[in-house]
Structure formats: structure tokens, C-alpha cells
Amino acid sequence: MGFSTDCIHAGQEPEPHTGAVTIPIYQTSTYVQPELGRHKGYEYARTQNPTRAALEANIAAIERGKHGHCFASGMSAIDVVFRLLKSGDHVVAGENMYGGSYRLFNRVLEKFGLQFTYVDTSSVDAVRNAIRDNTKVVYLETPTNPMMTITDLAACAEVAHAHGALVVVDNTFCSPFLQRPIELGADIVLHSTTKFLNGHSDSVGGVVVSNSDEIAEQIGFLQNAVGAILSPFDSWLVLRGIKTLAVRMKRHEENGIAMASFLANQPKVKKLYYPGLPDHPQHALAKRQMNGFGSMISFDLGSKENAKKFLDRVRLCSLAESLGGVETLISHPESMTHGSVPLEMRTRLGITPGLVRISVGIEDIEDLIADLENAFDGV
């Protein structure tokens, strides 16, 4: 089936008792067993829940994978993936990734003996050179947050697989509408469903998708053993959100391109980062690898003072962490999402005090531009 059809129908058989077209919220902790040793496939709700199962099947289908497992947050999804490893294993990860992922690696997982090397994954050679005998995972995000650097997923997968390492891609920034890493060779794709998949800024969740029965079995084991599952209500919200993923993403894309063109002509913008612009250094790769460029844009206003004046004047755009909602969210990576990244690393990556990131929503673009024009007047 096509992508939009799968968004609406995959994993969602009508409810068997009444024929209800939407999957009910199975708000139960356990299930009656008709006799000892016999049950209907449901024993206890940490292990199985029909609402969550519907969402897991749905996301697996739209990522073009076979299996999905949902978690209480994007971070818990990432955490579970690393529980596939053991003390002494090594990971090559992007140096510019979601700040919370860096914090998990650096301040939690290292304590358990996992080793991390951070490289600029836009260079396939840098990835290759960082691989060691004990490298088990190559961990990628593309475009990166907030610098919008693109990594060649197919080329990195080839390098990783030649060394027997798994390729794990955090696809949160794109959603499967814009990019499907499994088709490019990734072994595991994960998301914070909090962002584009749910799309309405009213739920926190995560998902792990893979194509391999063996990996899925281990993730399923960990989901039950560790227990950070997505609740039935949140599962239902994300299912509801995904029904409109394709139409939302088309509009995000349209607004993203219009916003980037507006910013490109704004003299107070010192630097602009958006892979949809022909002068982005990796525009050609983005065009080849993605089905569009999305609505995440970063721009540099030159100083913290300018960024503050600008951010204090926006009215329609909300100054907030997070991204991927229907409403436009604007943020200051240095002090908000990337506060936990060391200063030296932030500076090297370009996460300067003047950097602003915008997640362009699906409002009328004229209203968004008018809001930003007004904010620029104060800079």
C-alpha cells in the first residue's frame, strides 16, 4: 500500500466485538485467562496491550520495517537499544546529535562500561576511521539537530556492516515521510514519537523499529524486562496523530521552504542552515536521500543579545523546547536543548549563543512570517 494509506490503516483492524473503526484504548492491567495454561495472547499489560500493539504494527509498516516496539519516551527507546550491548562494547556516534542522547551516553551508559567515540558522521571516512574491533553500533542522526548536517546513510551502513556493526538511526527529525533509513541499510530505526509522528505536542513516547526477527525478539524481551512501555492512552494519541502524518508533512514542507526563503533574504540572519537551500553544502545528498527537506531550520543572529531580543518578541511562534508539532515552536539550542553539551563541543559544532532553531508548523505561512518580521524589527 502507499504511504498515506498505511498511515491510516496499517495495524488497525476494526475492533472485533463491535466493529469500531478506531482501536479502543484498552485501559487494563491484566486479562482473564479462561483456564489454567490457556489465554488469548494477552496475559499482563506490561507485556502485551492491543492499543500499543496496533501502534507498533502501524509504525513498523510506515518505516518499511517488520517489527515495532513502543516506549514511554524517545529516551527510553534509545536506552533499550543500548541494552543490546554489553560492557566493553564500543559505539561510533555522531558528534552533533540530540543533547539528551549525548547526556545518556556520556553520563549514564559510560558508567556501565560502554565506550563512545564521537565523529562528524557527514564524513564517511571519519566513521570508518573510528571503527575498532569492538565496535558494535554506528549511531546516526540526519539531518543533525540543530546544525542540519546530512549523513550519507547508505554509505555509512556499508562501512558499518563491513565491520559487523549495527547501524542505528534516530529518524525523529524526518519522520518516515521524509526518510526511511531501513531502505538505506539501517538495522534499527528509532523515534521520539513526541515529535512529528504524534505531531500535536500532547504526548511523550518512543519507538524502536527493525527488520530483523532476531533484533526484534531481543527488543521485545527488553521492553518487557525493563518495562518502560508506552501507555494505552498515549499509544492511541500517536495512532491518531499518524493518520494525518502525510498531509501534515506536506504542509510542513511547504511552510519550511517558504520560511527558509524568507530567512535567506533577511539581513539580520548571519547564517542559515536548511538542507533545502541549494547553497547548503549537502543539498544534493539531502535531495537524493530524503523525500523532501522538512521544516526544521536553524539560523544565527550573531549574538545572544540579538537572539534574546528576537525570541522575546515572537507571539504566534511559541518559545519552547520540542519540535514537530502542528504549532510553530522556536528555541535557543545553546541554553535549551543542547545545554548539556560541553561548551567546547558546542562551539566547534556551531551551536553559538546567537543560534535560533525553528520547527515550522502548519499555520498560515503569512501569519508566521509576519510574526518573525515583527520580531526582527526588535533586533
Ligand X SMILES: *Cc1c(COP(=O)(O)O)cnc(C)c1O
Using CA atoms of 55, 61, 65, 69 in order, give the dihedral in degrees to the nearest 10: 0
Considering the candidates 195, 248, 251, 346, report the single residue annotated as catalytic: 195
CA-CA distance, 80 to 82, in Å (whole number)? 5
Identify which of residues 171 and 306 has a Cβ nearer to ligand X in the complex. 171
CB 58, min distance to ligand X, A: 18
Q: How far is the CB of 203 from ligand X (least distance, A)?
A: 9
Between 173 and 273, CB nearer to ligand X = 173
- Interface residues with ligand X (CB under 6 A) are 73-75, 98, 100-101, 141, 145, 170, 172-173, 192, 194-195, 204, 206
Of 367, 349, 272, 358, give the one whose Cα is nearest residue 310.
Answer: 358
- For the CA atoms of 44, 47, 51, 57, what is the dihedral angle to 10 degrees? -150
* CA dist 41 → 10, 20, 47, 140, 148 (Å): 20, 21, 10, 36, 44
Q: Is 136 a catalytic residue?
A: no
Minimum separation from the CB atom of position 73 to ligand X (A): 3
248 classed as catalytic: no
Active site residue 288: no
Task: Please say which residue, 341 or 375, places its beta carbon nearer to ligand X.
Answer: 341
Residue 187 CB, nearest distance to ligand X (Å)? 18
Residue nearest to ligand X (CB): 74
Residues in the chain: 379
Sort strands 135-141 and 271-273 into parallel, antiparallel or unpaired: unpaired
For residue 173, the minimal CB distance to ligand X (Å) is 6
Place of cell 518580521: 373
CB of 76 to ligand X, least distance (A): 7
CB of 194 or CB of 306, closer to ligand X: 194
Active-site residue flag, 98: yes
HSE toward the beta carbon, residue 379, CA cutoff 13 A: 23
> What is the C-alpha separation between 189 and 180, in angstroms, rounded?
9
From residue 297, give the alpha-carbon distance in Å to each of 249, 272, 308, 311: 15, 8, 18, 15
Cβ distance to ligand X smaller for residue 201 or 282: 201
Distance of alpha carbon 65 from alpha carbon 59, whole angstroms: 8
Out of 52, 79, 98, 273, which one is annotated catalytic?
Answer: 98
Q: Which is nearer to ligand X, 361 or 375 (CB)?
A: 361
- Reported as type and span, the H/E element at residue 300 is strand 296-300
Residues noted as catalytic: 46, 98, 170, 195
